[in-house]
């Protein structure tokens, strides 16, 4: 028995997923492969605070994204807008690069 949502396997006498609270099935449907996305880096931002501002707008515009902090920022868990040399890079799908770059330009005056 399997949960069709979280795909956890259960023993035969269990009828409902304990986490998802939905009925179990005998077999899982075949997984569909994930879409391949070519991620591109935008201009690095000077700190987590600026990245969070941009991320909020990207999310509102339904633009997929993820961020990567530089080593010092992530190692010391520093959230700063003006830590000397702190950089955060936002990655977006290649097809959203221009739109995301315009958002950064409008918010922060960077390109």
- pLDDT value of residue 78: 53
Enumerate helices (H) and strands (E) in the chain, giving the number of each: 3, 3
- pLDDT value of residue 2: 92
- pLDDT value of residue 39: 94
- pLDDT value of residue 80: 47
- For 36-46, b/e burial (b = at least 16 CB within 10 A) is eeeeeebebbb
All domains of the chain, ordered by start, with CATH?
1-31 (no CATH), 39-108 (3.30.70)
- pLDDT value of residue 47: 78
* pLDDT, block means (10 residues), the chain with 111 residues: 90 90 89 84 87 92 89 53 71 96 86 50
Contact 84, 90 (CB under 8 A): no
Q: What are phi and psi of 35, to 5 degrees?
A: -70, 135
């Amino acid at each position: 028995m399997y949960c069709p949502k979280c795909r956890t396997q259960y023993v035969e006498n269990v009828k409902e997923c304990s986490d998802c609270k939905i009925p179990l099935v005998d077999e899982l449907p075949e997984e569909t492969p994930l879409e391949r996305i070519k991620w591109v880096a935008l201009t690095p931002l000077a700190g987590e605070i600026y990245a969070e501002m941009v991320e909020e707008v990207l999310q509102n515009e339904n633009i997929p994204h993820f961020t990567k902090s530089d080593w010092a920022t992530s190692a010391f868990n520093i959230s700063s807008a003006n830590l000397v040399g702190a950089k955060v890079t936002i990655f977006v799908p290649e097809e959203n690069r221009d739109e995301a770059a315009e958002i950064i330009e409008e918010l922060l005056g960077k390109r």
